[in-house]
Amino acid sequence: MAEDKLKDFVTAVEDEVVKRSYNVNYGAHKVGITQRESADYYTNWARTGTYDQDLSKGKIYNGPIVAGAVLAKHYPTNRDNISILDIAAGTGYVAEELLKYGFKVIDALDPSEGMLEIAKTKGLYRKYICEFLNGGTVSIPEDEYDCCVVSGGMGEGHIPCSGLHEMIRVVKPGGLVCIVMREEYLSYVEDYKDKLEPLMAKLEKEEKWKRLSRDVIPNYSFNKNGVVFKYEKC
């Protein structure tokens, strides 16, 4: 095959792979999907054994790489003593990045048994907590972690706005809450539109936390922008 034809062929195959991944991922974010349906969808997806391949880190989905780099910058030293709760941990992409930077004390929270089954096979976390982060109280004491991080856990049928209260509760005063998410969800996910950022601001006014930064980043996933929020608990 001539070189340019081969290039077109490779591009077409890659486009097909991305399209398929986008559609599979959309299945977990369909408008109106409930939290339970979404978690079960992830479990089925994980049990097909193709999740990590479909949302390939560093190609299609870069949230965990960004989250790892943000935490590494925030904690330049003494990383092995920093306790981190990886919320919506999934199959452990974020922990894979954190371990590369020398973080060692990382717990996983995720409501999808199937996703956590895969994370367990990788042996990345100290604890595996199979629970939803939503308006209720998770089985974690107050002020437990130095940091909590969310990558890919915000979206339709995922962590609701009310989950912010728990993020703050489980982190120690002075600790970090880092949320990495797709930027466009702020404008069309019903639970977030005109609600998520106003709630973040209200919590800041109430001196529950203080914003350190809000950065828009390119190519978070499927070539779409992401947004990274960093807050310090008061």
Ligand X SMILES: C[S@@+](CC[C@H](N)C(=O)[O-])C[C@H]1O[C@@H](n2cnc3c(N)ncnc32)[C@H](O)[C@@H]1O
Give whichever of 21 and 151 is closer to ligand X, judged by the CB atom. 151
Residue 63 Cβ vs ligand X, minimum distance, rounded to whole Å:
5
In our burial notation (b when 16+ CB lie closer than 10 A, e otherwise), range 29-43 reads beeebeeeebbbbbb
Name the one residue in this structure whose structure tokens are 């299945």.
Answer: 27
Give whichever of 71 and 87 is closer to ligand X, judged by the CB atom. 87
Q: Which two three-digit tokens encode residue 49?
A: 């054994």
Give whichever of 129 and 203 is closer to ligand X, judged by the CB atom. 129
Residue 30 Cβ vs ligand X, minimum distance, rounded to whole Å:
13
Q: Is 107 helix (H, G, I), strand (E, B) or coil?
A: strand
Give whichever of 1 and 137 is closer to ligand X, judged by the CB atom. 137
Name the residue with the smallest CB distance to ligand X. 90
Residue 79 Cβ vs ligand X, minimum distance, rounded to whole Å:
19
**Rounded distance between C-alpha atoms, residue 162 and residue 191, angstroms:** 10
Query: Which H/E stretch holds residue 175?
Result: strand 171-182
CB atoms within 10 A of CB 113: 15
Interacting residues toward ligand X by CB under 6 A = 35, 38-39, 42, 63-64, 87-90, 93-94, 110-112, 115, 132-134, 151-153, 158-159
**Rounded distance between C-alpha atoms, residue 227 and residue 222, angstroms:** 14
Residue 37 Cβ vs ligand X, minimum distance, rounded to whole Å:
10
